[in-house]
Amino acid sequence: MFPDMAAVFDEERDLATLVVRGAGAVVVVGDVWEPVRLVDSSGVVVGAVRAFLQDLQAAGRSGATQRSYAMDLLRWFRFGWAIDVSWDKATRVEARDFCRWLSLRRKPSPATGSGTRVARGEPNAVTGRPGPGGRYAVATRAHSETVLRAFYEFHREAGTGPIVNPFPLARERSGGRTNAHHNPMEPFRNERVGLYRPRVPRRIPRCIPDESFNRLFAGLGSHRDRALVALWVSTGARASELLGVRRGDFDPGQQLITVIRKGSRAVQQLPASPDAFVWLRLYQATLEDSAPAGPDDPLWLTLRQPRRPLTYPAARAMFGRAAGALGANWTLHDLRHTAAYRMARDPLVPLTDVQWVLGHAQLSTTQIYLTPMPDDVIAGMLAHYRRVEQDAEPPEPADSCADDTGGYRRAALDVLFGRQPR
């Protein structure tokens, strides 16, 4: 007998008064075999999540990706603990309620990456970028839905979870032939979208203006930080890619740096600016006799003794403090956007070369950086209006229209444009 689905969906859960406590945690282990763990309130590892993360590792996903997935799963498990429903007993009703709760609940106002606090959703006065909102961002919710659907699909196929995925695909998109009307000039789209996945608006990346970047760079407090920022803004490497380099990954003579690409894990050499290598050498001079200097030893270390590898959160906090001193909320990823814009705007650099440097799989992704910046468009149009006002004479009507037949009179135009009557 099939369950009465109408009765199932009629079960009302008071989400407005639901209290979801901060039980459990994602623990960064540091072990290459198990980078992260999800533990419950008693510190016991959640076996279902461990198996899923191990599967991700086997598929080549990095430790950072595993941590990101684990954070999404932690929200789901906290919700399940709050409503007293085990993960393997969850149905579409729980999935629906979780997505509703995630989209409507208010979260504590977090500190911004710049070390300042702004009103929820209020645009930054310098960058124009909105501050953290009072609710989870659309991109966060979309990523959460994707992770949870993959989590349950893994356990469904393994026979260790529900036989029906609580996070279904959209009904109107689940049938038919995928990419049946695909444009060969465009990348293939994933048309099988989750039912509860929100639409993520496409945002144009922002770069840091040159004048602002110079002020930000001048405020950095160490040669390490200057070398990092100079390399980020000249190579276009992702923050994690640059932080993962070793001492033997630099070739100053050829102005090259070797990184491991995020996602593909491909080893790639990237060119960098001469000044970046100058700052790098000054930083390396500060490490003499205070840190291991082997080619496989990490390059980026903490400034304080004992020296430890510099982590992404620490680098993000460093850059956030520098941006916050200018009242801005730029992020480390904005340095990559800045590098991309600089390269794409150089008429002597082919866009395919920019694609290769950035590591984009599709040229259409790189083409985003051909989009003019809003500030540049506004400044250009205002300059256009000034030129028109200064250089162009307003058109005068024909003599046949300078009468009472409905046309403009010459005297009226003289008054309108402040000219001397003729």
Provide the annotated active-site residues: 238, 262, 333, 336, 360, 369
Pairing mode of beta strands 34-39, 25-31:
antiparallel
Instruction: Give the contacts of 246 (CB within 8 A, at least 6 positions apart).
Output: 295, 296, 297, 298, 299
Distance linking the first and last C-alpha atoms of the chain: 95
**Structural contact between residues 136 and 200, judged by C-beta atoms closer than 8 angstroms:** no
Residue owning tokens 């149009």: 381
HEC-encoded secondary structure of the chain: CCCCHHHHHHCCCCCCCCCCCCCCEEEEEEECCEEEEEECCCCCECHHHHHHHHHHHHCCCCHHHHHHHHHHHHHHHHHHHHHCCCHHHCCHHHHHHHHHHHHHCCCCCCCCCCCCCCCCCCECCCCCCECCCCCCCHHHHHHHHHHHHHHHHHHHHHCCCCCCCCCCECHHHHCCCCCCCCCCCCCCCCCCCECCCCCCCCCCCCCCCHHHHHHHHHCCCCHHHHHHHHHHHHHCCCHHHHHCCEHHHEECCCCEEEEECCCCCCEEEEECCHHHHHHHHHHHHHCCCCCCCCCCCECCECCCCCCCECCHHHHHHHHHHHHHCCCCCCCHHHHHHHHHHHHHCCCCCCHHHHHHHHCCCCHHHHHHHHCCCHHHHHHHHHHHHHHHHHHCCCCCCCHHHCCCCCCCCHHHHHHHCCCCCC
CA distance 58 to 94: 29
Amino acid in the structure at residue 402: A
